[in-house]
Amino acid sequence: MKLNGGLVSMEEEYVFAQAAQRARRFAAAHPDARLISLGIGDVQGPLCPAATRAMARAVREQGRRRSFHGYGPEQGYQFLRQAISSELTRRGAPVPARDIFISDGAKSDLGGLLDLIAPGGQALLCDPTYPAVRDDCLIRGLRVNTVAGSPSDGFLPMPPPGSLAPDVIYLCSPANPTGAVYTRAQLAAWVDYARQRESLLLFDAAYAPFIGDESLPRSIYEIPGAEECAVELGSFSKLAGFTGTRCGYTVLPAALCCRGVPLQALWRRRQAARFNGVAYVVQRGAAAVLGPNGRRQTERALAVYRANARLLESTLTEAGIPHWGGLHAPYLWLACPQGLSSWGFFDFLLEYGWLVGTPGVGFGPAGEGYFRLSAFGDPDTVELAAERFLHALDYLR
Ligand code: MLT
């Protein structure tokens, strides 16, 4: 057997697993420490009543012969595809239901979409970036090129000059980990770049529901020409607390072709080989999230996370720590104080604040010296975390 070299080359643990390991070791050595996690971006739940009611109804249907559903349509049930299409259209990005593929979350499809690219191809990623994407590229045997973000561009890197013609480009806006959001003009520059080079642009919109400013784009399809180069990934995880329930979607427009081959047909074929769809019960829950009651209830939960992010943002301002994100995103990205390394600050916060965050270097080399805090938490806990954060900093002075 010849092993997959890309997989073998990923010698380090996934950053969230490493952080959890260190936190567990600390907790074992300090049994009195009540740790608070502002690390992995996991929601607090619960699912909204509209979703749980729809799922309960769907479970009852599954328990009766006449309403039972076996294998569903590979692309997803029409009721959910139509609901997503209406939602995107309402938000200014008209996407027909036929271009929507239901997934078990954006992460699975991000990796899966690389099956469209020949091994040995070139990928272009921002640095820092969502670490699963770099791993996906390595597993697929792609060569990874990066364009680094920095304080000078607000951690919103733009297309690099030069002759690189990437097969695939990955962008996330609002970005994980920095919480920075591209403007329309900036996304238009990326769309132009992708079209000129015939690159596939993977646009991760998992955090789009956090954008509260109408002038900022929530979908790549708000940019003219994007339907000819871009695939968009959406998720119910952060929108509606589906991290453990699993449902997302991929928009792959009919107009998207590579050398005359329509990618939609290829993706449909790939999905038929690799995927058996998302549970009927879950799809019913996701569709209910997009109904009038679901939207209202979900908005209330999002408002809590937004308020948490604002609190963390003002805490960092009070501490005089340079930071980004948090305004239209559930993440805050900060420069580690006193020139500490990312892991150095992780250990410091663990010891002096009993707080767990995510070291910026886990998102790429340009993240060294930075740190990410997540605003997914219940408000009392986030408030306590903010107090502990400020208190811990006293030990650095
Ligand atoms: C994160 O914390 O970056 C996310 O929760 C990870 C994910 O969505 O897979």
Give the tens place of pLDDT for each residue, 152-211. Answer: 999 999 999 999 999 999 999 999 999 999 999 999 999 999 999 999 999 999 999 999
* Statement: the pTM of the whole predicted model exceeds 0.85: yes
pLDDT higher than threshold 90 for residue 275: yes
Q: Ligand 1 centre from 383 Cα, in Å?
A: 22
Is residue 271 domain-resident? yes
Tell me the torsion sign for CA atoms 149, 143, 133, 170: positive
Last residue of a domain, one of 231, 254, 281: 281
DSSP 3-state assignment of 207? coil
Looking at the fold, whether 276 and 305 belong to one and the same domain comes out as no
> What is the distance, to the nearest Å, from the Cα of residue 375 to the centroid of all Cα atoms in its chain?
14
Looking at the fold, whether 106 and 233 belong to one and the same domain comes out as yes
Looking at the fold, whether 229 and 106 belong to one and the same domain comes out as yes
State the pLDDT confidence band at 345, using cuts at 50, 70 and 90.
very high
Looking at the fold, whether 39 and 110 belong to one and the same domain comes out as no
Q: Ligand 1 centre from 94 Cα, in Å?
A: 27
Last residue of a domain, one of 244, 259, 281: 281
For ligand 1, atom 5: residue with the closest CA: 41
Looking at the fold, whether 143 and 273 belong to one and the same domain comes out as yes
Instruction: For ligand 1, say whether the CB of 33 is within 6 Å of any of its atoms.
Output: no
Query: What's the structural domain count of the chain?
Result: 2
What does the angle CA 214 – CA 124 – CA 3 come to, to the nearest 5 degrees? 130
Contact 380, 371 (CB under 8 A): no
> What is the distance, to the nearest Å, from the Cα of residue 252 to the centroid of all Cα atoms in its chain?
18
Is residue 55 domain-resident? no
Is residue 189 domain-resident? yes
Looking at the fold, whether 345 and 246 belong to one and the same domain comes out as no
- Tokens 């008209």 correspond to 94
Q: Ligand 1 centre from 118 Cα, in Å?
A: 27
Instruction: For ligand 1, say whether the CB of 108 is within 6 Å of any of its atoms.
Output: no
Looking at the fold, whether 37 and 86 belong to one and the same domain comes out as no
Pocket test residue of 176, 247, 332 for ligand 1, highest count of atoms within 8 A of CB: 176
Pocket test residue of 18, 109, 130, 242 for ligand 1, highest count of atoms within 8 A of CB: 130
For β-strands 36-37 and 355-356, DSSP reports them as: parallel
Of the candidates 261, 260, 259, the one whose C-alpha atom is nearest the C-alpha of residue 269 is: 261
For 225-262, write each residue's pLDDT tens digit.
999 999 999 999 999 999 999 999 999 999 999 888 99
Q: Ligand 1 centre from 243 Cα, in Å?
A: 9
> What is the distance, to the nearest Å, from the Cα of residue 219 to the centroid of all Cα atoms in its chain?
14
Contact 386, 374 (CB under 8 A): no
Q: Ligand 1 centre from 177 Cα, in Å?
A: 9
Q: Ligand 1 centre from 68 Cα, in Å?
A: 34
Contact 351, 391 (CB under 8 A): no
| pLDDT, average across residues 285-298 | 97
Q: Ligand 1 centre from 54 Cα, in Å?
A: 26
Last residue of a domain, one of 254, 281, 308: 281
What letters, b where the CB count within 10 A reaches 16 and e where it falls short, cover 249-263? bbbbbeebbeeeeeb
Is residue 305 domain-resident? yes
Alpha-carbon span 303 to 386, nearest angstrom: 18
What percent of the chain shows pLDDT beyond 90?
95
For ligand 1, atom 7: residue with the closest CA: 41
Length of the chain: 397
Instruction: For ligand 1, say whether the CB of 134 is within 6 Å of any of its atoms.
Output: no
Contact 360, 370 (CB under 8 A): yes
CA of 130, closest atom in ligand 1:
3
CA of 358, closest atom in ligand 1:
2
The tokens for 261 are 């081959």
Q: Which amino acid is at 16?
A: F
Of the candidates 267, 222, 263, the one whose C-alpha atom is nearest the C-alpha of residue 249 is: 267
Looking at the fold, whether 315 and 383 belong to one and the same domain comes out as yes
Instruction: For ligand 1, say whether the CB of 335 is within 6 Å of any of its atoms.
Output: no
243: containing domain:
70-281
Which pLDDT score is estimated for 11? 67
Looking at the fold, whether 249 and 338 belong to one and the same domain comes out as no
pLDDT higher than threshold 90 for residue 87: yes
Looking at the fold, whether 266 and 307 belong to one and the same domain comes out as no
For ligand 1, atom 8: residue with the closest CA: 41
Instruction: For ligand 1, say whether the CB of 176 is within 6 Å of any of its atoms.
Output: yes
What does the angle CA 246 – CA 250 – CA 251 come to, to the nearest 5 degrees? 150
For β-strands 230-235 and 200-204, DSSP reports them as: parallel
Looking at the fold, whether 76 and 192 belong to one and the same domain comes out as yes
What's the CATH number where 239 sits? 3.40.640.10
CA of 243, closest atom in ligand 1:
8
Is residue 16 domain-resident? yes
Q: Ligand 1 centre from 212 Cα, in Å?
A: 21
